[in-house]
């Protein structure tokens, strides 16, 4: 099996695992990885439950489509994450429940919004930044992400969902798992804060 096929197999397994466990819904999630100087990102409208090796779009590092499906409209988020550091080799974006719920709360620390009640989020990802709400796929959202990307290690798009990068697909997957679990712990422990839902 070639290295590209192995990466696609990891991506397909991760997507299916996230879908089957309710971390990704419908066709809203997307993921990408780097291979030989190109971004491979899931195609627009693909479903994490049914990815195949043909579900990807090959894109140049400047965002120009090379071959395969039309790329996910969230491609600019992935691209900015790769530009942040050459340590980032894969990016996953989903709409997982607890990360979304936690993003509704008023935050004092927008560059480090998820409390480290357990040590694993810090170990696996680091700090989590809150990206202000704007319509998915909009230039406004990409502008907010551009401002946030250098200030934290992982991100939650407010009222939308997490974007997590890693040194490999599995690393990004482990980070996303820790983020969702940390948000579930924080959401439960911080019950009193739930009244402080930010204005919509």
* Among 74, 177, 178, 180, the one annotated catalytic: 74
For this structure, is 74 an active site residue?
A: yes
Nearest to 111 by CA among 101, 133, 123, 126: 126
Q: Is the dihedral of CA 51, 52, 55, 56 positive or negative?
A: positive
Is 144 assigned a catalytic role? no
Q: Which of these is catalytic: 40, 81, 102, 120?
A: 120
The sign of the dihedral angle between the CA atoms of 63, 65, 71, 73 is: positive
**CA–CA distance, 67 with 9 (Å, rounded to integer):** 19
Cβ 181 vs Cβ 117: under 8 Å: no
Could you give the CA distance from residue 71 to residue 45 in angstroms, rounded to a whole number? 9
Please report where in the chains the tokens 């988020």 appear, as a residue: 77
Rounded to a whole number of angstroms, the distance between the first and last alpha carbons of the chain is: 49
Handedness of CA 91, 86, 171, 98 (dihedral sign): negative
Distance, in Å, from the CA atom of 30 to the CA atom of 19, rounded to the nearest integer, reads 11
User: Other C-beta atoms within 10 Å of 1: how many?
Assistant: 7
Catalytic residues: 74, 120
């Amino acid at each position: 099996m070639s290295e590209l096929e192995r990466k696609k197999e990891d991506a397909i397994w991760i997507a299916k695992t996230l879908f089957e466990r309710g971390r990704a819904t419908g066709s809203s999630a997307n993921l990408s990885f780097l291979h030989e100087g190109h971004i491979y990102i899931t195609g627009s409208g693909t479903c994490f439950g049914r990815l195949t090796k043909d579900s990807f779009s090959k894109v140049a590092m400047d965002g120009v489509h090379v071959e395969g499906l039309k790329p996910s409209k969230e491609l600019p988020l992935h691209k900015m994450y790769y530009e942040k550091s050459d340590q980032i080799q894969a990016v996953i974006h989903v709409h997982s429940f607890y990360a979304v719920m936690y993003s509704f709360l008023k935050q004092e620390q927008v560059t480090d919004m998820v409390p480290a009640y357990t040590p694993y989020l810090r170990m696996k990802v680091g700090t989590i930044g809150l990206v202000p709400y704007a319509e998915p796929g909009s230039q406004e959202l990409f502008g907010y992400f551009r401002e946030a990307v250098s200030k934290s290690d992982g991100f939650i798009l407010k009222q939308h969902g997490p974007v997590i990068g890693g040194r490999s697909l599995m690393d990004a997957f482990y980070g996303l798992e820790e983020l969702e679990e940390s948000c579930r712990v924080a959401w439960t422990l911080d019950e009193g804060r739930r009244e402080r839902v930010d204005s919509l």
